[in-house]
Amino acid sequence: MVKTEVTYNLPKATDKEGMFFKQKVTDNTGKPLPKFIKVTMLSMGEISLTITPDSNKLVGQYLVQVTLDDLYSTPFVGYFKIIVDDPLISKHTKSGKGLKEELVSNDTSKQRVNII
């Protein structure tokens, strides 16, 4: 189990007419994000994500959808990707008939979270 926490503040959003707008953060299908991704609405147009993958089972890519809607115009929908890297470091060595993967370290402190 790893306890790597990353906090990411989304760029601040504003409505050009200064209107109130709804903010919603989901996965790319509109469903809630996995529990290890906590969404905090800081204020109008300010959203923070706290990402705490605590298991190697969470390694993967997560597409996040942000929807901003002032109820008068077409909603803005934007996407970005969260990537939780595999904490295992491996190297490839040749062995007879092909390529053999050899485990070098299982240091789970190497787990990384990238936001693209």
Give 17-39 pLDDT, tens digit per residue: 888 999 999 999 999 999 999 99
For each of the domains in the chain, give its residue range(s) and CATH number, in order of start. Answer: 6-115 (2.60.40)
Rounded to 5 degrees, what are φ and ψ at 58? -90, 0
Cβ–Cβ under 8 Å, residues 12 and 46: yes
Query: pLDDT band for position 10 (50/70/90)?
Result: very high
Residue type, 106: N
Q: What is the DSSP string of 54-105?
A: -SGGG-EEEEEEEEEE-SSSPPEEEEEEEEE----EEEEEEETTEEEEEEEE
> What is the pLDDT, as a whole number, of residue 84?
86
**What percent of the chain lies above the pLDDT cut of 90?**
50
Picking from 20, 25, 3, 12, the residue whose alpha carbon sits closest to that of residue 78 is 25
pLDDT for 48-88, tens place per residue?
999 998 888 888 899 999 999 999 889 999 999 998 876 55
Residue 2 has pLDDT above 60, yes or no: no
pLDDT of residue 109: 46
Nearest-angstrom CA–CA distance, 93 and 7: 37
Q: Average per-residue pLDDT in the chain?
A: 78
Say what the pLDDT of residue 16 is. 86
Determine the Cα–Cα distance for residues 15 and 6; give it in Å rounded to an integer: 28
pTM greater than 0.75 (yes/no) = no
